[in-house]
Structure 1
Amino acid sequence: MGVTSLSSSFGSVEPSVVRPVRPRVTELRLSAFAVHRRAVIPLDGAFTLLAGVSGSGKSSALRAYAALARLAGGAELGEVFPDPVHCVPEEALPDAQQRRGFRIGCTADGPAGPVRLDLAVQVEPELRVVGERLSAEGTVLLETALVDPGRPAVQAAWHTAGSAPVTRAPLPDDRLGTALLPLRVAGKTDGQRRVLAAAEQMVVALRSVFVCDPHPARMRAPVPNGSGRLLTGCDNLADVLWRTRTECSRRHAHLVAALRAGCAAPATDVVAELRTDGMVRAWLERDNGGRTELARLGDGELRYLALALVLLTGPGVLEVDPPGEVPDALQALTVLADGFDRCLDARQRTELARLAVRMGERGHMHCVGTVGDASWAAGIDGVTVVHLDP
């Protein structure tokens, strides 16, 4: 599966030589993953749409991105890939030792410049990392390899540029070595500090990811009052609406404006109520003075409402695991929305795309969505369309 065309100039601007303050992923590489072979997917715009027919690998591309994000957060390989055999390309043949696996990677840009991460994972006969490389400007900063298949470890070597050019040590074969470097590297030499800067940039760029797939059927009923952080399926939409309405009038006003622009029956407000039984219910107030409970909204209106809320909020409201030691001003949230235009009419998908571009141009958010047909986005400035080939 390859990338055959890139419509990168639906309002694009000339690239700047100034490094972004907030680290962010600018490229996803799927060397051998599911249906993909040698695929390089650019993610350098405010809003990127992955377009292609069914089976072209749109969803698997988002799955690979989300997997790298979880590994960067410290998750074990088995947690991230509970059914890893589906990640192995179907035509991949086992080697002489009956081993098969997959390879993925990405590039993160930021203050340290473009940093590349490439990962090789063995799936059969057992799941383990067999190779990892972190590099910047042509210099390999970290490299791991499976030396002894009988040990649950890989041999790692990282750049030091001190009295010894590299430091060698074993690392677990079920975790991302890049995420472990800040605990292993002292940072005493210029080389060590360069390794740390690159590793930290990659981890920060990857970790602030919110996978969003709103399920309308789960959003209609009142929900228990809880943490107020939106779940991936937006099941607790009413609870989060109650929180955002009470905590941030400015953000709430932007949400109402988005609803007025995208709903057939314009809303004058979105209201949420905490009941005495601890449950939260929500409704839209209409121009005619009536109200429409979430239970009565169609799938398109509910998905539109949920996606608009996601684009207007951030890590403090969404169920993500950002690096807590990094200030919010240095983090860029990435929203992964599979089936971005599902159930939406022409006006709704256009308004959401424009909102995604506006939020992306501010620098603190980037949205990557998948669609079957992206022709509707051709007139929207700031949208980058990547066409995937079956």
Structure 2
Amino acid sequence: MTTTASPPGTTRVCPPRTAPGAPARPVRPVVTELRLAAFASHWRRALPLGPLTLLTGPSGSGASTALGAYEALARLGAGDALEEVFPDPVSCVPERAVADAEGRRGFRIGCTVDGPAGPVRLDVAVQAEPSLRIVGERLTAGGQALLTTALRDPGRPTVQAAWHTAGQVPVTRAPLPDGRLATALLPLRVAGVTEGQLRVLAAAEQVVVGLHSAFPCDPLPRGMRGPVRAGEGRLRPGCDNLAAVLARTRTQCAQRHARLVATAAAGCAGPVTALTTRDLLDGTVEALVGRGAGRSTPIGRLGDGELRYLALALVLLTGPHVLEVNTPDEIPWAMRALTVLADGFDRGLDGRQSGELLRLAAGICSDGHLRMIGTVGEAGAALAGRTEGATVVDLSG
């Protein structure tokens, strides 16, 4: 299925499903739209997100930037400090943004998270100059603002927050820090006594859960070739500790490992009958590709495309326990959905490898436990357009 991004100035929000016979709301909160109102090269752009979404467009169209915006929202939702999320905030300000009389410029991003509470919108305005701070935030559900924040006193490191109460006092107001996402702080500030407070908590928690567990992934073949220190069982974003992760996963789930071997055989040159590891005397571990008849090849001898292909297949076939992501214990597994952010998903791959990975991703993403947003080139977009379950968003123009 092929879908294009919404025209500038429009917003795609999932409609309420209240009609008889309509499908139930998703059990796991998921991000269904990413909004880049004013962010780097993007201006008033809304990107629909499905279980498997591939962004494409010419160089400079901002596909990688969009992934960065999603990762930033995920980190803010996890409670990370603003300065850690945006170490170079000025680069996020659109060139056309004009400073006001006080020299202030910034950027705006947001998302919609669908789930048991219905579609919930989060919109965030960040000041990048002269100092980094969140100057406005809005949490909306059913057309009603459940939380708003605004900068009232530039001399204080706080914003004035107001959230829906629907009790004897219709709105609760309090200062909150301007360096953290207020939505992520609400579960610690809202009592949850009145019906309105419970609604605010449900919306905030849905957004936080929907944004949690994002894994930015861009395998770097140059770091994957040599032996690595044993015992590093969680895969890093660059996949440079692939051998250590294989040493762990090959003994934990025989079925998934068999699928990984089969996927490797479909996309790597020569026969692939096994993926094994061996411990070396210096305390490192090396990954090997079994070739049959007792022969094996060190993984370092594979081509760059083969290494990226193998690493991406491993990412898709594992999960939060194996990937280096933030997975808070207080969120039940039934409510979680891991989102893989794969920049350059088809980079260095041939058509056969891209097609195999796309089919694998579509099948895995269809069950709701994992979602993926990737960037692809023109050839990858064409393959994705023919892959059942994939959504292609063209950023051209």
Interval of TM-score (by shorter of Structure 1 and Structure 2): over 0.9
**1:362 aligned partner:** 367
Greater displacement, 377-386 / 216-225: 377-386
Q: Where do 5+ consecutive residues of structure 1 fail to align?
A: 6-14
1:143-162 → structure 2 map (5 Å cutoff): 143-162=148-167
Partner of residue 277 from structure 2, selected from 263, 269, 272 = 272
1:1-390 → structure 2 map (5 Å cutoff): 3=5, 17-44=23-50, 46-287=51-292, 289-373=294-378, 374-390=381-397
**Mapped partners of 2:386, 2:174: distance in 1:** 53
**1:11 aligned partner:** none
Q: Using the TM superposition, give the Cα deviation of residue 389 of structure 1 relative to its aligned residue in structure 2, in angstroms.
A: 2.2
Deviations 1:153-185 (A, max 9, x none): 000000111111111000000000000001001
Q: Using the TM superposition, give the Cα deviation of residue 17 of structure 1 relative to its aligned residue in structure 2, in angstroms.
A: 3.0
Q: Is the 8 A contact 2:385 2:391 kept in 1?
A: no
Q: Is the 8 A contact 1:211 1:232 kept in 2?
A: yes
Q: Is the 8 A contact 1:23 1:205 kept in 2?
A: yes
Q: What amino acid does structure 2 have at the position aligned with 1:180?
A: L
Deviations 1:311-332 (A, max 9, x none): 0111100000023201122100
Deviations 1:33-53 (A, max 9, x none): 000000000002x21100100
Deviations 1:253-312 (A, max 9, x none): 111111122223131110012334321111110146421111101001100000000001
Q: What amino acid does structure 2 have at the position aligned with 1:183?
A: L
Q: What amino acid does structure 2 have at the position aligned with 1:67?
A: A
**Mapped partners of 2:130, 2:181: distance in 1:** 20
**Mapped partners of 1:273, 1:21: distance in 2:** 42
Q: Is the 8 A contact 1:4 1:387 kept in 2?
A: no
Q: Where do 5+ consecutive residues of structure 2 fail to align?
A: 8-16
Q: Using the TM superposition, give the Cα deviation of residue 130 of structure 1 relative to its aligned residue in structure 2, in angstroms.
A: 0.3
Identity of aligned residues (%): 65
Relative to structure 1, the CA distance from residue 3 to residue 201 in structure 2 (aligned partners, 3 Å threshold; closer, same or farther) is same
SS at match of 1:246: coil
Aligned length: 379
**Mapped partners of 2:307, 2:159: distance in 1:** 47
Q: Is the 8 A contact 2:147 2:164 kept in 1?
A: yes
Q: What amino acid does structure 2 have at the position aligned with 1:55?
A: G
**Mapped partners of 1:182, 1:211: distance in 2:** 26
Q: Is the 8 A contact 1:72 1:179 kept in 2?
A: yes
SS at match of 2:110: strand
SS at match of 2:395: strand
**Mapped partners of 2:329, 2:281: distance in 1:** 34
SS at match of 2:251: helix
**Mapped partners of 2:23, 2:148: distance in 1:** 28
Relative to structure 1, the CA distance from residue 102 to residue 62 in structure 2 (aligned partners, 3 Å threshold; closer, same or farther) is same
Q: What amino acid does structure 2 have at the position aligned with 1:96?
A: A
Greater displacement, 17-26 / 349-358: 17-26
Kindly report the root-mean-square deviation, in angstroms, between the aligned alpha carbons of the 2 structures. Answer: 1.4
Greater displacement, 287-296 / 254-263: 287-296
**Mapped partners of 2:387, 2:157: distance in 1:** 50
Q: What amino acid does structure 2 have at the position aligned with 1:383?
A: A
Greater displacement, 80-89 / 253-262: 253-262
Q: What amino acid does structure 1 have at the position aligned with 2:93?
A: V
Q: What amino acid does structure 1 have at the position aligned with 2:40?
A: A
Which structure ranks higher in relative contact order (CA pairs < 8 Å, sequence separation ≥ 6)?
1
**Mapped partners of 1:68, 1:371: distance in 2:** 22
Q: What amino acid does structure 2 have at the position aligned with 1:145?
A: A
